Amino acid sequence: MHSSRSSSIFNVAVLVASLGYFVDIYDLLLFTIVRVPSLKDLGVSDTEIDLGVGPLLISVQMIGLLLGGIFWGIIGDKKGRLKVLFGSILLYSVANIANGFVNGTTGYLFWRFVAGLGLAGELGAGITLVAEILPKEKRGYGTMIVATVGVSGAVAANLVAKLVPDWRYCYFIGGGLGLLLLFLRVSVMESHMFNNTVGNNPVSRGNFLALFSDRQRFFKYLKCTLLGTPTWFVVGVLVAFSNKFAHEMGVKAPIAPGDSIAFCYAGLVLGDFASGLISQLLKSRRKVMMLFLVLTGICSFIYLNMYGAEKWVFYVVCFILGFSVGFWAIFVTIAAESFGTNLRATVAITVPNFARGMLPLITWLFLWLNNYITYLQSGAVMAAVCIVVAMIATYTIEETFGKDLDYTEPV
């Protein structure tokens, strides 16, 4: 029954999930970095880049991520975690390579949508597989490795974009890395827990609507999603618009958002490692979430009060801010551990994408607040809302550390 379980946190499943997430994050951040230069190269005007095709590209990719989250989630529970892990890697690798060949905006829009579909499945499937394969006392170490290695893909993307002059080659490198990963597939075994549910025919697997049909289950699912919103607020608003925030505070030199994001993600790498490690030491997911959310609140306050700061000090704070939201591993692990085997992949794959998908709403609220209060005050209000909501979700959700995952949900 337990033949596919490995006691080592450095087994092939952890390696493939880690590297898959590495390429996933590489592609997401690379797109952020090369979007403007690539559109200029394709002959798009500055106005269209800011107000037309540029925002549309981001929206199209986001739609792909949201739809892909649901699609891969259902596949993960119906057909297996491995099929999602490698199906998603194959899809976003092909999309990456195709991105390097586009000659117009129509092709670019199509392949960013396909990339979004592919990128949606990798993390949740990897975390689910690792959580089910490793013994319960070592699960946190496995998911910590996946997130830490994965998020470092952002640092790699920034480095590659600086070293490789042509944006097309940057995409080719990402696609090539993904295809190389597929050769490791032969050594990875499917989760024994999933195989057990396949043998148990009456169990309904991958029923996405079941997450909404039961009140208690829905609120648990909602809480899991809300845990991740502070990360995306920090990365998608505070850091993404860092040039504007810095200007408002009179930071002594112009700030480049790309560099702010690189510093933030470098902090995220350390934060994911630290939160995973502390979670294992404290034998608690909730305590670590609460600890890091308090830290996020403190760091956001410092960030929004850097009047007249030196440029290097601003980037150091971006790094520390990134560290404070480095609970992505814990967040997805809680989601995977909160539900039974027949819905686990559906939850673990959709939750990070829905949390990410809340960024447009958060950004819209932030910009809407600008009509009534200052830019910095809007940032402070949205920071408080995202962090307090996540704290309430953390306080009211069950502790999942050491929980036996070999059970199914009554659907």
Share of residues in the chain with pLDDT > 70 (%):
98
pLDDT, tens digit (0-9, with 9 covering 90-100), for 196-226: 888 766 788 999 999 999 999 999 999 999 9
Give dist(CA 343, CA 207) in Å, integer: 7
Residue 1's pLDDT is 36
Residue 4's pLDDT is 43
The CA radius of gyration of the chain, in Å to the nearest whole number, is 20
Look up residue 15 and give its two tokens: 């390696």
Residue 7's pLDDT is 62
pLDDT, tens digit (0-9, with 9 covering 90-100), for 16-46: 999 999 999 999 888 888 888 899 999 988 8
Residue 32's pLDDT is 83
What are the domain boundaries of the chain?
A: 9-181, 209-404
Residue 158's pLDDT is 86
CA-based nearest residue to 222, from 361, 76, 351, 328: 351
pLDDT, tens digit (0-9, with 9 covering 90-100), for 57-110: 888 999 999 999 999 999 999 999 999 998 999 999 999 999 999 999 999 999
pLDDT tier at 12 (50, 70, 90 boundaries)? confident
**Is the pLDDT at 50 greater than 80, yes or no?**
no
Question: Which one has a higher pLDDT value, 202 or 389?
Answer: 389
CATH 1.20.1250.20 holds for 9-181: yes
Cβ count within 10 A of residue 48: 15
What mean pLDDT is predicted for residues 226-239?
A: 93
The DSSP symbol for 235 reads I
CB contact at 8 A, 13 and 127? no
Q: Which fold has domain 209-404?
A: Growth Hormone; Chain: A; (1.20.1250)
Give dist(CA 239, CA 259) in Å, integer: 9
Average pLDDT, the chain: 91
Residue 101's pLDDT is 95
pLDDT, tens digit (0-9, with 9 covering 90-100), for 249-282: 999 998 888 789 889 999 999 999 999 999 999 9
Q: Would you give the distance in Å from CA 336 to the centre of its chain?
A: 14
CA-based nearest residue to 95, from 66, 125, 61, 72: 61
Sign of CA dihedral 53, 57, 58, 63: positive
Residue 382's pLDDT is 96
**Is the pLDDT at 3 greater than 60, yes or no?**
no
Sign of CA dihedral 402, 404, 408, 410: negative
182-189 CB contacts, 8 Å cutoff, 24+ apart: 182/86, 182/89, 182/90, 182/93, 184/12, 184/15, 184/16, 184/19, 185/16, 185/82, 185/86, 187/12, 188/12, 188/13, 188/16, 188/82, 188/85, 188/129, 189/3, 189/4, 189/13, 189/133
Can 9-181 and 209-404 be said to share one CATH topology?
yes
Q: Which residue has the tokens 């390429």?
A: 23
Residue 257's pLDDT is 83
Q: Tell me the C-alpha to C-alpha distance, in Å, between residue 42 and each of 28, 48, 113, 167, 169.
A: 20, 12, 18, 11, 15
What mean pLDDT is predicted for residues 320-345?
A: 94
Q: Which of 44-53, 241-250, 279-288 is least confident?
A: 44-53
Residue 107's pLDDT is 93
SS (H, E, C) 61-120: HHHHHHHHHHHHHHHHHHCCHHHHHHHHHHHHHHHHHHHCCCCCHHHHHHHHHHHHHHHC
Give dist(CA 141, CA 358) in Å, integer: 28
- Angle at the Cα of 233 (from 229 to 235), degrees rounded to 5? 115
> Which residues have CB under 8 Å from 410's CB, separation 6+?
none
What mean pLDDT is predicted for residues 349-364?
A: 91
CA-based nearest residue to 160, from 295, 17, 314, 25: 25
Coil, helix or strand at residue 176 = helix
Residue 201's pLDDT is 65
**Is the pLDDT at 326 greater than 50, yes or no?**
yes
**Is the pLDDT at 242 greater than 50, yes or no?**
yes
The DSSP symbol for 186 reads G
CA-based nearest residue to 120, from 363, 359, 357, 361: 357
